[in-house]
């Protein structure tokens, strides 16, 4: 059996709210293998973004383990986790998190700036290539505040892809896009998955996008379960 590229063991996230402990994620068990396409769905507030942030090493769990590319992320300090992210992970935030004073081009270049062998001209060319692939070459010099929500989302996607990460985490990557642009972005993500073997982990409210993924997990009140393809087929059959 191959080693999982991401593994969560008994992952729990609890926060203190008004002196009460609130459990957001409850003993989550999850193994994702390299090259898989994974959808995570669940109602608003069920803990999807919290789970994605912890799996991507942006946040630390209250308890439990997160293994990523063979490394024990739950035991690493912030600096070491930043290095894990730099080498392995692209992240599309639900709220985009673009830097407001930088142009679209400079935002997309950011992950390369952090690399040791950064070369400005080369990075600029790569950023222009990715902006073109998300359909934004004309907006390269604009700052986020003059871009529409969907355009900002596509800049965030280009930024997540530029360093050719092994794993892409995307929190509602098509949530702000019109149908056609959403289809184009989905096609791009699945192409990267097919061509480069990139592991895709997508949070989505779109059942059609979830169905396109090989694996589908459902989060209900912080508890994660896998929806088997048989179950999806049965649900679809029941509706028709
Ligand atoms: N730092 C925090 N302090 C207090 N509550 C928090 C914090 N972070 C998350 N929560 C709560 O945890 C729950 C899960 O939040 P999360 O953002 O993970 O949900 P989600 O499934 O991504 O929802 P959505 O679909 O609306 O994006 C929510 O009830 C939220 O209010
Ligand atoms: Mg969310």
Closest atom of ligand 1 to 17 CA is 4
- Cβ neighbours of residue 192 under 8 Å, at least 6 residues apart? 161, 168, 198, 200
Q: Are strands 37-41 and 63-68 parallel, antiparallel or unpaired?
A: unpaired
Please report the pLDDT score of residue 176 as a whole number.
Answer: 86
Per-residue pLDDT of the chain (240 residues; tens, 9 = 90+): 568 999 999 999 999 989 999 999 999 999 999 999 999 999 999 999 999 999 999 999 999 999 999 999 999 999 999 999 999 999 999 899 999 999 999 999 999 998 889 999 999 999 999 999 999 999 999 999 999 999 999 999 999 999 999 999 999 999 888 999 898 889 989 998 999 899 999 999 999 999 999 999 999 989 999 997 655 544 444 433
Decide if 102 is inside a domain.
Answer: yes
Decide if 1 is inside a domain.
Answer: no
- Whether residue 185 contacts residue 151, with contact meaning beta carbons closer than 8 Å, is answered with no
For the chain, the straight-line distance linking the first and the last C-alpha, in angstroms and rounded, comes to: 38
CA dist., res. 181 & res. 17, Å (int)? 39
Residue range(s) defining the domain that contains residue 167? 6-239
Task: Give the burial class of 207: count Cβ atoms within 10 A of its Cβ; 0-12 exposed, 13-18 middle, 19 or more buried.
Answer: middle
- CATH number, residue 194: 3.40.50.300
Confidence (pTM) = 0.91
Residue nearest to atom 29 of ligand 1 (CA): 45
- Whether residue 66 contacts residue 240, with contact meaning beta carbons closer than 8 Å, is answered with no
Please report the pLDDT score of residue 228 as a whole number.
Answer: 77
Decide if 213 is inside a domain.
Answer: yes
What total of structural domains would you count in the chain? 1
44 Cβ inside 6 Å of ligand 1: yes
3-class secondary structure, 226:
strand
Decide if 231 is inside a domain.
Answer: yes
């Amino acid at each position: 059996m191959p080693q999982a590229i991401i593994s969560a063991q008994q992952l729990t996230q609890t926060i203190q709210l008004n002196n009460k402990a609130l459990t957001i994620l409850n003993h989550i068990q999850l193994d994702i293998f390299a090259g898989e396409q994974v959808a995570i769905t669940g109602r608003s507030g069920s803990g999807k973004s919290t789970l994605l942030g912890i799996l991507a090493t942006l946040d630390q769990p209250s308890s439990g383990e997160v293994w990523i590319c063979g490394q024990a992320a739950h035991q690493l300090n912030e600096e070491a986790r930043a290095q894990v992210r730099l080498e392995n992970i692209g992240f599309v935030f639900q709220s985009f998190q673009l830097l407001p004073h930088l142009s679209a081009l400079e935002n997309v270049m950011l992950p390369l700036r952090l690399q040791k062998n950064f070369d400005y001209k080369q990075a600029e060319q790569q950023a222009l290539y990715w902006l073109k692939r998300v359909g934004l070459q004309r907006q390269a010099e604009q700052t986020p505040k003059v871009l529409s929500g969907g355009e900002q989302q596509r800049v965030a996607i280009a930024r997540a892809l530029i360093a050719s990460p092994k794993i892409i985490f995307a929190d509602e990557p098509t949530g702000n896009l019109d149908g056609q642009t959403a289809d184009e972005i989905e096609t791009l993500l699945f192409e990267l998955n097919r061509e480069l073997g990139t592991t895709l982990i997508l949070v989505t409210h779109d059942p059609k996008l979830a169905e396109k993924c090989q694996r589908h997990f459902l989060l209900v009140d912080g508890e994660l379960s896998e929806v088997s393809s048989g179950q999806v087929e049965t649900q679809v059959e029941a509706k028709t």
